[in-house]
Structure 1
Amino acid sequence: MMADLTFSPFVPWPILAVFALGIFFVLAFAAWRGFTGWPLRLLAAMGLLAALANPAILREERTSLTDIVVLVIDETASQTLSDRVAQTDAAQARITAQVARMSNTVLRIVSLTDGTDNRGSLMMTRIAAVLADEPRGRLAGVIVVSDGQVHDAGLDIDLPAPLHLLLTGQPIDWDRRLIVENAPAFAILDEEITLTLKIEDQGRVPTGLPAMSPLIVSIDGGDDIVLEMPVGRAVQVPLKLPHGGMNTLQFSVPLTDGELTERNNSAVVQINGVRDRLRVLLVSGEPHNGERTWRNLLKSDTSVDLVHFTILRPPEKQDGVPVTELSLIPFPTQQLFMDKIDDFDLIIFDRYKLRGILYASYLENIVRYVEKGGAVLFSAGPDFASANSLNRSALSRVIPTRPSGRVFEQGFTPQISQLGHRHPVTQGLGGVTDGAVPNWGRWFRHVDLDPVATFGKVIMTGVEGRPLLVLDRVGKGRVAVLGSDHAWLWTRGVEGGGPQLELLRRLAHWMMKEPELEEEALLATANGVKINVVRRSLSNDPRAVTVVAPDGSETTADMQQTAPGIFEAQVVGTQMGLYRLRQDDKTAVVVFGPAAPREFEQTIATPALMAEAIGQTRGGVIEIASGLPDLRRVSEGRAAAGRGWIGITPRAAYTTVSTSKLPLVPAWVWLLVLSGWIIFMWLREGRK
């Protein structure tokens, strides 16, 4: 029960003020002129004004409200390190027990999780949201249990109560992380690129650690390359990309005993590899209709550097014309096939046969070129089945098929083989699906390739279903044999033509080892919170993929066949960082956000980021490792923390249940008093 004095005037306050002002001037004039009796009249006027003001007693029935203490538990990823979870649980239990012993006080427990889109720990934003939900008049204090690594410390919030930080972590904590300071977004193949990396130690680093640390480099999950790198200093690392398209480079340093986590020991960089120019050597055995088509097709691509070698006058043609009148300079066969052969990305033999122009040593060098990673395409004409066939030279060691000696001179429509419907070079070529008959123009010559003596993969067939396009891997290189010289008919649009340009582009990219055209490949891409996994294979065996999350946990997902040779699966990613995928001997990597999320960029506990906000509320910082604090009540405006204790400010909030108002002096009492006073003054004045 609370009682207050209040007024309920019988007339409006402005009228009462004018009346009081008039009385004051009249009495002031009487006092100035020396009139008698003005003090008694002043008392009567004051009594009349008091009666008109109608003083009353306001009584309120109040119910006290409890004070609210907010406990914010940091549950972000960095709080899982070391023994911070146990420290957090102990602090929560301690604060809960102490608030329970305080009268008229309740505890609100809220949690903070990782911010979306890798924004880290948004502690101040969370506290601001709590203030919006809780009545400010009842807030007695905010206690935060955290490692202090917040990423919105600059957010200004108006706290009406003390803010305290119970700091997790240990004074001896230390950590090592790998930083990529500079990396290009794309690079030219076969040209060296430079990335700037740094190994940084944080916290109380133990003495005696080596000044150098191994740096493990892996490209697309392949074999590791181990380098030595100094600690604490930025170093430029030179690398060359192995293939075109997206290259995923993973850098990591080994886990050192005692460091907090290895989640920030890795970094992933994705660099798009582009070819400066595709260098092609086209060797035409004789002029024919397809020669110009090959030349125009290759010259139309601005990214292709073409060297075209055509034999116009074979050695057996002796017509008496002096050699000096046939050529200004001799053709540089020595330079092309011996000295500069490794500069070419692709060599095409178009209807070439043995004529003694290319010496056996040149052909041996081409074999070496293929075995060390080169690519050769044979576009076979009738001579491929003759005694002058390249198959009768040293090149037979890399040619993946043998001619039977027959040449079919009849119309046929090229078909995609059963294997070809699974091979990326011909899969869906020209929109043809598995089992469909292609609506392409016919070819009219097919060099018969013996299916018994075929060592490569037959992906297209011709007359009577016999091999037409055969692919093979030889050493580190790749070889293709096209058993017809009539592909140019598609370019000319004969009988509707066909997808020669698309076929040649795919064939060239496969021979250049582009990842998207590998017949055995494991690919993964991140889409939102899902990982789309694609396995390309020439077999139809059931598939399952193993996914290793950033924290090391493994899950297995079954893959479903969505097209011939294509298996797919979707995996939901629950963590930011680097995911590793493996299936049989194939591996892949994919990244959600950075390989080391923002929560693991700085892992050492610190109160520095929240110090300003804590100081503004006269709160304090207590290290849990040094002991848990006591909870006290302190007056508003006083220091709210000390050694081994933190304080909350009682708010004395309440709600009003009911109110009542009683006049201080009843109206009839005012009437009697004022009437008696007037009679008294009249009698007194009358005697005088």
Structure 2
Amino acid sequence: MTRQILFDPMLPWPVIAVLAGVALAFCLLAAWRGLPGWWLRALAAGVLTVALLDPSLQTEEREPLSDILLVAVDESASQRLSDRAGQTEAALADLLAEADADGLDVRVTRVADASGDEGTLVMGALNEVLAQVPRDRVAGAVVISDGRVHDAGLAPDLPAPLHLLRTGRSDDWDRRLIVSNAPSFAILDEEFTITLRIEDQGDVPPEMGAEADIVVSVDGGQPRAFRIPVGQDLELPIALPHGGLNVIEFTVPEADGELTDRNNAAVVQINGVRDRLRVLLVSGEPHPGQRTWRNLLKADSAVDLVHFTILRPPGKQDNVPVNELSLIAFPTRELFSEKIEEFDLIIFDRYKRRGILPSIYFDNVRNYVEQGGALLISAGPDYASADSLYRSPLAPILPAAPTAILLDRPFLPTVSETGEKHPVTEGLPQGYGEDGAPWGRWFRQVQVLANPDAQVVMDGTEGEPLLVLDRVKAGRVALLGSDHVWLWDRGYEGGGPQAELLRRLAHWLMAEPELEEEALTASALGQEITVTRRTLGETPGAVTVTAPDGTETELALTEEAPGRFVGRIEGGEQGLYRLVEGDRTAVIGLGPAAPREFVETIATDVVLADAIDARRGGAIAVEDGAPDLRSVREGRRAAGRGWIGWTPRGAYLTADVRVLSLVPAWLFLLLAAGLATLAWLREGRR
């Protein structure tokens, strides 16, 4: 119960002040003139002034309210390292016991990982809790965390102390891999640099030394190990092995005693682009399709085309003196001997042996293919003749042998059973033909016998092999057994997907990853990972998906298209996911390779130091024992060795209010009249 005197003036305060001043002036005048009753007059004026103020007594019945202690518990990914989760729960239990003994009302909020890669947003959680409780009851706030808070600048304006109970150990240490510079694309066959750094944090054991191993793997291939210095930027020169997406994985093996290996790996995805596509087109005798090949290749500004064509065969009899010919000698020796390795693709278009190119040049082409080059044979009647390229040193690498039979009859090119699975011919655009035919007809085909290991992806007349693909050591070879593909380009009977077919064919020959017939790939949309397995064989087995925390999941695949098997899995957390199916491997990252929670893992007070100091709090290491909880007067330092403080707020709830006038109005009037009468009598004649 509390009591206080209240005033409810009958007149405005300025009016009362003027009246009181006038009365005081008259009383002073009476005293100056020596009137003996001046003090009685002054008392009468004072009584009237008090009466005008109308004093009353207010009595309140109050119910005290408990003070509130806010507690934010960090349950982010970094808090699951080592024994921090156990430390956190133990510290929370001790704090709740201390708070209960002091009669505090504890409001606990648990803070998990933020969506995306925002990290630990403890201050945001505290702001939300603070908005839900009366501010005048908040006696303090405690954060139980490793101190790695990523919104420290948004600390709430608390009317009480802020403290940190820091988890973690003083001897914790961790090693992380940093990729500070990596391009998003690079030109094939040109070196570029990726800047790496291995950094140690915390109490690093002396036996770790000044160097560490790093393992580099490209597209999940054979890893290579290197030893590099720790704490120094290293510029690693790299040249991309192929066009398209190149996935380069860097891994630092986990060392004994480090907190986590989640920040020991990084994946860099770089698109390989060709500066210029260098194509050597070798044409035989002129035919309608020759211009089609040239136009197709010249239409692409990124293609450097060298066209070697025979305009005047050695046996041609036209009675034109050689010294009058205006032809420039073609640099065959330079192209087929000295600079053959510079070409990305060599095309023989209806070319046959005519004594112009010696056998040694064909040997060079064969070696070029076996060492990783690409060769396309567009065959016509020349391939079935005695001067066929199959009768040259190229025979060991060609995917099909001619039977010397030329099939001159109309036929409709079709995709074979294998071709329905192969990325070169899978899903080629339809709807070109007339009368329900998907594509236009061709009229000539060379009968060939495909090698057992070759892939027949298109059939011609009576199911004869039309397009045959094969791998030769490190290179690739394709044979198109007809010279009538130009009919599609001219739109005969509706035409066909000539440009798309030849584009895919050229990219497959140059080993573009998206056209690999045996591949395991993955893509991510949000947290969902889509795994795709392409194969020309039987149904593949389940894919083993290894999450960033090491847990393994078996993912079954279903056939969505011939040769394409797909499975989807929801990624639980950010980081690197490794996929294995048979001898095929792939990696994919959800978010960064090392999420923000694992960039810096050593517990610290530094991040929250400014916020804690501004609110007179303190930081206590949980490993040193549970701190005492003490009440501290407002404005004083609220932390010390082994203790943290809270500020009593003295909040209450008013249950009842009673107001009673101190003196009735008639009594004020009677008292003032009595005093005035006494003054008159004292100053009168009697």
TM over 0.5, yes or no? yes
CA-to-partner distance for each residue in 1:508-565, whole Å, 9 max, x for gaps?
0111111111112222122112112222222452653222111111112222222222
Q: Following the alignment from structure 1 to structure 2, what is the Cα–Cα distance between the partners of residues 474 and 324?
A: 44
C-alpha distance after superposition, 1:348-389 (max 9, x if no partner):
111112223332222222222212111111111012112222
RMSD: 2.1
- 2:37/2:682 contact within 8 Å kept: no
Amino acid at match of 2:27: L
Give the secondary structure class of the aligned counterpart of 2:131.
helix
Q: Deviations over 1:46-103 (max 9, x none)?
A: 1112122221111111111111111111111111111111111110111011111123
The offset of 1:501, in angstroms, is: 1.0
* 1:248-286 CA-partner distances (Å, limit 9, x unpaired): 211111111121111111122121110011111111121
Does the 8 A contact of 1:372 with 1:476 survive in 2? yes
| Partner Cα separation in structure 2 for residue 470 and residue 683 of structure 1 | 140
Structure 1 position 444 matched with structure 2 position 443: yes
Q: Distance in 1 between matches of 2:390 and 2:325?
A: 30
- Counterpart secondary structure, 2:608: helix
Cα displacement string for residues 424-450 of structure 1 (whole angstroms, at most 9, x for unaligned residues)? 1111212469xx975322211111223
* Residue 138 of structure 2: aligned partner: 139
Match of 1:613 among 611, 614, 621: 611
Find the aligned partners of 2:395 and 2:452 in 1 and give their Cα distance.
Answer: 12
The amino acid that maps onto 1:283 is V
Aligned to 2:565: 567
For the residue of structure 1 that corresponds to 2:199, the secondary structure is strand
What is the TM-score of this pair, normalised by structure 1?
Answer: 0.95
The 5-angstrom pairing of residues 333-348 of structure 1 reads: 333-348=332-347
Which of 520, 529, 532 is matched with 1:531 structurally? Answer: 529
Q: Give the residue type in structure 1 aligned to 2:206.
A: T
- Tell whether the 8 Å contact from 1:401 to 1:455 is kept in structure 2 after alignment: no
What are the within-5 Å matches in structure 2 for residues 102-117 of structure 1? 102-103=102-103, 105-117=104-116
Note the residue ranges of structure 1 that are not aligned, 5 or more in a row: none
State whether structure 2 residue 650 is matched by structure 1 residue 664: no
Residues 10, 53 of structure 1: 8 Å contact kept: yes
Q: Secondary structure at the match of 1:302?
A: coil
Q: Please say if residues 120 and 150 of structure 1, whose CA atoms lie closer than 8 Å, have aligned partners that are also in contact.
A: yes
SS at match of 2:140: strand
Q: Which residue of 1 aligns with 2:621?
A: 623
CA apart distance, 1:120:
1.6
Identity %: 58
SS at match of 2:429: helix
1:44-443 to structure 2, matched below 5 A, reads 44-103=44-103, 105-155=104-154, 157-317=156-316, 321-326=320-325, 330-431=329-430, 438-443=437-442
1:24 maps to what in 2? 24
3-state SS of paired residue (2:240): coil
| Equivalent position amino acid for 1:167 in 2 | R
Normalised by the length of structure 2, the TM-score is 0.95
Contact 1:120 1:599 in 2 (8 A): yes
- Aligned-partner Cα distance in 1 for 2:36–2:558: 115
Measured after TM superposition, the shift of residue 11 of structure 1 is 3.9
Q: 2:43 maps to which residue?
A: 43
Aligned positions, number:
684
Query: Do 2:431 and 2:439's aligned partners in 1 also have CA atoms closer than 8 Å?
Result: no
Residues 438 and 32 (structure 1), Cα distance of their counterparts in 2 relative to 1, 3 Å cut: farther
- The CA deviation string for residues 312-331 of structure 1, in whole angstroms up to 9 with x for no partner, is 33333356655444466543
Matches of 1:432 and 1:520 in 2, distance apart? 29
Deviations 1:428-484 (A, max 9, x none): 212469xx9753222111112236x55411111111122111111111111111010
Aligned counterpart in structure 2 of residue 461 of structure 1, from 442, 456, 459: 459
Stretch moving more, 82-91 or 23-32: 23-32
Answer yes or no: is 1:3 the counterpart of 2:3. yes
State how far apart, in whole Å, the 1-side matches of 2:578 and 2:442 are. Answer: 47
Alignment CA distance shift 1:62-1:493 (3 Å)? same
Could you tell me how far 1:10 is from its partner in structure 2? 3.7
Aligned partner of 1:558 in structure 2 is: 556
Give 1:205 deviation, angstroms.
Answer: 1.4
User: Is the 1:402–1:454 Cα contact (8 Å) retained in structure 2?
Assistant: no
Deviations 1:6-25 (A, max 9, x none): 12334444443343233233
CA contact 1:401–1:454 (8 Å) conserved in 2: no
Change in Cα spacing, 1:551 to 1:600, as seen in structure 2 (3 Å) is same
8 Å Cα contact 2:430/2:439 also seen in 1: no
Match of 2:641 in 1: 643
Once the two structures are TM-superposed, the CA of residue 110 in structure 1 deviates from its matched residue by 1.0
- 2 CA distance for matches of 1:616 and 1:336? 76
SS of residue in 1 equivalent to 2:382 = helix
Asked whether the 8 Å contact 1:47–1:674 carries over to 2, the reply is: yes
The unaligned stretches of length 5 or more in structure 2 are none
- State the secondary structure of the residue aligned to 1:394: coil
Query: Which is further off, 65-74 or 127-136?
Result: 127-136
1:161 and 1:120 mapped to 2: Cα distance? 26
Q: Provide the C-alpha distance between the structure 2 equivalents of 1:176 and 1:260, rounded to a whole number of angstroms.
A: 8
CA shift for structure 1 position 43? 0.1
Residue identity in the other structure for 1:114: D
Partners of 1:425 and 1:327 in 2: CA distance: 42
Equivalent in the alignment of 2:579? 581
Amino acid at match of 2:76: T
Q: Aligned with 1:116: secondary structure?
A: coil
